[in-house]
């Protein structure tokens, strides 16, 4: 009795024990129906291999060098890929992630600065400073109200200073060149209004006219932006024209 292994060889049961025999070609006898049968194998096809050839002809031993080279190549490839990714790819991704995060943070601060300017302008316009001879306002209340107005004006100064100092961070992230230009022009005009010698009332009025359309262009709902974009652009252009067309600076109060 023998066991055949895919044409490579087989174990034969011999009087001296089992022995591996190499086979050149194995042809099993068939029955009348053409299927493999249990008849004795053709002894003429058996070629006895010497004992020294048993290990040399073993398919497992022959395949071991290929397995070693495959494992070595996989290890080297994984090592090279890991090192290349850590040196070239990961630092670039980290820098890009930090840059994108800074741009979005700057946009949020841009929105906050716009809201601060709009709110401070509304407060300053709603609470004018009473006249010195106003009988309905005492000197103490007038002094406190003047301190509040000064604090609100300082908020306008801080907001416009941040806008002009960080315009390259929040304006450069928008995909359209027109949006980048609008943000840069607004930041420059707002800061120039605060640095001018105009009166506080004129500064507050101009800053409110500039901030309203910009808020609509960038930070309202998407459908409102699309619907009112042309109107906001016209309003901003009119406000910028008024800033540039004002006559000689007015003396501050």
Print pLDDT tens along the chain (253 aa): 444 444 444 445 545 554 444 444 444 444 444 444 444 444 444 444 444 444 445 555 555 567 777 777 778 787 777 777 776 777 777 777 777 788 888 888 999 999 999 999 999 999 888 887 888 788 888 889 999 999 999 999 999 999 999 998 888 778 787 888 999 999 999 999 999 888 999 999 999 999 999 998 888 887 877 788 888 889 999 999 988 875 555 555 4
SS3 57: coil
Q: What is the pLDDT of residue 168?
A: 86
- In DSSP notation, 172-189 reads TTSSSHHHHHHHHHHHHH
- Per-residue model confidence as pLDDT tens digits over 185-196: 999 999 999 998
23, 11 contact by CB (below 8 A): no
Q: What is the pLDDT of residue 136?
A: 79
* DSSP-assigned letter for residue 51: T
- φ/ψ of residue 122, rounded to 5: -65, -40
* DSSP-assigned letter for residue 44: G
- φ/ψ of residue 18, rounded to 5: -80, 145
Cβ density class 72-108: b for 16+ within 10 Å, e for less: eeeeeeeeeeeeeeeeeeeeeeeeeeeeeeeeeebbe
Radius of gyration for the alpha carbons in the chain, expressed in angstroms and rounded: 44
Q: What is the pLDDT of residue 6?
A: 43
Between the CA of residue 11 and those of 7, 61, 78, 115, 217, what are the distances in Å? 12, 16, 41, 89, 86
Between the CA of residue 148 and those of 113, 152, 219, what are the distances in Å? 19, 6, 28
* DSSP-assigned letter for residue 89: I
- Per-residue model confidence as pLDDT tens digits over 22-60: 444 444 444 444 444 444 444 444 444 444 444 445 555
Q: Could you tell me which of 249, 18, 209, 21 has the C-alpha nearest to residue 121?
A: 209
| Structure tokens belonging to residue 102 | 């800074």
| Structure tokens belonging to residue 43 | 């002894």
Q: What is the pLDDT of residue 65?
A: 64
Q: What is the pLDDT of residue 135?
A: 80
Q: What is the pLDDT of residue 37?
A: 46
Q: What is the pLDDT of residue 31?
A: 44
197, 247 contact by CB (below 8 A): no
Q: What is the pLDDT of residue 100?
A: 78
Q: What is the pLDDT of residue 222?
A: 79
Q: What is the pLDDT of residue 24?
A: 44
Q: What is the pLDDT of residue 30?
A: 45
Q: What is the pLDDT of residue 117?
A: 95
Cα separation of 60 and 43, whole Å?
26
């Amino acid at each position: 009795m023998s066991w055949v292994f895919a044409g490579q060889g087989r174990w034969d049961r011999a009087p001296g024990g089992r022995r591996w025999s190499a086979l050149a070609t194995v042809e099993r006898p068939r029955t009348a129906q053409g299927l493999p049968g249990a008849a004795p194998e053709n002894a003429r096809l058996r070629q006895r291999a010497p004992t020294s050839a048993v290990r040399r002809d073993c398919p497992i031993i022959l395949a071991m060098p290929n397995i070693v080279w495959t494992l070595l190549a996989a290890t080297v490839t994984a090592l090279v890929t890991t090192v290349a990714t850590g040196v070239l790819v990961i630092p670039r991704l980290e820098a890009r992630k930090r840059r994108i995060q800074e741009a979005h943070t700057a946009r949020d601060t841009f929105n906050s600065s716009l809201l601060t300017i709009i709110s401070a302008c509304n407060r300053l316009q709603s609470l004018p400073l009473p006249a010195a001879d106003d009988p309905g306002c005492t000197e103490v209340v007038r002094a406190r109200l003047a301190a509040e107005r000064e604090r609100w004006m300082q908020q306008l100064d801080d907001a416009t200073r941040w806008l002009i100092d960080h315009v390259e961070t929040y304006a450069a992230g928008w995909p359209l060149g027109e949006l980048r230009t609008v943000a840069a022009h607004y930041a420059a005009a707002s800061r120039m209004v605060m640095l001018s010698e105009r009166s506080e009332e004129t500064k507050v009025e101009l800053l409110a006219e500039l901030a309203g359309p910009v808020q609509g262009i960038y930070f309202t709902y998407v459908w409102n932006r699309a619907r009112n974009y042309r109107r906001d652009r016209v309003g901003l252009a009119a406000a910028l024209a008024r800033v540039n067309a004002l006559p000689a600076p007015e003396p501050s109060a």
